Amino acid sequence: MPKKTKSKQKQTDSLFKKLKDRWILILFGVIILYFPFIMLRGKVKSYLLNNDSIKVKAVIVNEQNFWGNSPVSQTFSYSYEYFVDGEKYRRDSHNEQLEIGDSILIEYTPIYPRFSRIIKDKK
């Protein structure tokens, strides 16, 4: 009986080691691939918006996006909201002069509607 227990313990230890090694490898891979993804995301977004975008009106809504960590200045911008195929999307306007209810013209990519940017401010 004791031999079976040691054999099972060895198998369990071996399985645990294999899983641990794989998770370390996966984690390392994710860390290595994360930074190029972040750098390429902006370029892909710009390319798609420059070559294949749809223009629509968006409205500034009451969702504040605070800039930086300064507890004194409390600088923020409001988000804009637009709809694509009945689905609502919100993005940060990055413009502190826009007020709730303002209409703006934006463009978004039909492939991935979350990729959007303001074209021109209207008041």
What CATH number is attached to the domain comprising 63? Answer: 2.40.50
Same domain, 27 and 57: no
Q: Give the CA count within 13 Å in the CB-facing half-sphere of 56.
A: 17
For residue 40, give its domain range. Answer: 1-51
Output the six-digit token pair for 33.
């691939």
45 and 103 share one domain: no
Cβ of 36: how many Cβ atoms within 10 Å?
9
- The tens digit of pLDDT for each residue in 26-61 reads 888 888 888 887 778 788 888 889 998 999 999 999
Q: Which two tokens stand for residue 63?
A: 């969702």
| Amino acid identity, position 81 | E
Is the whole model's pTM more than 0.75, yes or no? no
Same domain, 58 and 117: yes
Q: Is the pLDDT of residue 3 over 60?
A: no
* Shared domain check, 79 and 24: no
**Whether residue 80 sits in one domain with residue 47:** no
Residues 42 and 86 in one domain: no
Structure tokens at 79: 């988000």
pLDDT in tens, 85-121: 999 999 999 998 999 999 999 999 999 999 999 996 5
Residues facing 55 on adjacent strands = 107
Is residue 83 located within the same domain as residue 69? yes
